[in-house]
Amino acid sequence: MDRPIRVLVAKPGLDGHDRGAKVIARAFRDAGMEVIYTGLRQTPEQIVEAAIQEDVDVVALSILSGAHNTLLPKVVQLLKEKGAGDKLVVGGGVIPPDDIPYLKSQGIAEIFTPGTPTSESIEFIKSHVRVEA
């Protein structure tokens, strides 16, 4: 595939801890991806609209506020409702292990918890993304 993977890095929820989001955005860039970074305090509606307009392959959501069980599934659900359910949705942040099975059942492809090397997230995306060559 000769075109770069397009990723939306977004922060749903109200927390301002964007160290992880910014580090992962840079790591994705350095792995040859086109990263659309949308900043703090994004509602699921805003995230989904951006994902559609930018026609990204991947939606990467970083959240440390504890509202993941509410907000992450909502992003997936809205994407489906709007006919953009083909995008790979992944999440990262302080997310208790207990919540991960639920999030996966709601369509989040993978959850990356603290300490995950960026290379692991990059590998996951490269092997799971659906990009027509």
Please report which residue ranges of 15-99 form alpha helices under DSSP H: 19-30, 44-53, 68-81
Q: Kindly write out the interface string for residues 66-105 of this chain, putting x where it contacts other proteins by CB under 8 A and - elsewhere.
A: xxxxxx----------xxx---------x-xxx-------
For the bound state, the minimum distance from the C-beta of residue 105 to other proteins, rounded and expressed in Å, comes to 16
Pair 105, 75: CB distance under 8 Å: no
Q: What is the largest CA-CA distance in the chain?
A: 39
C-alpha 118 chain-centroid distance: 13
Q: Kindly write out the interface string for residues 9-38 of this chain, putting x where it contacts other proteins by CB under 8 A and - elsewhere.
A: ----xxxxxxx--xx-xxxxxxxxxxxxxx
Q: Which residues of 53-72 are buried (b: 16+ CB within 10 A; e: fewer)?
A: eeebbbbbbbbbbeebeebb
For the bound state, the minimum distance from the C-beta of residue 90 to other proteins, rounded and expressed in Å, comes to 17
For the bound state, the minimum distance from the C-beta of residue 129 to other proteins, rounded and expressed in Å, comes to 13
Q: Which residues make up the interface to other proteins (CB under 8 A)?
A: 3-4, 6, 13-19, 22-23, 25-43, 45-46, 49-50, 52-55, 65-71, 82-84, 94, 96-98, 113-115, 117-119
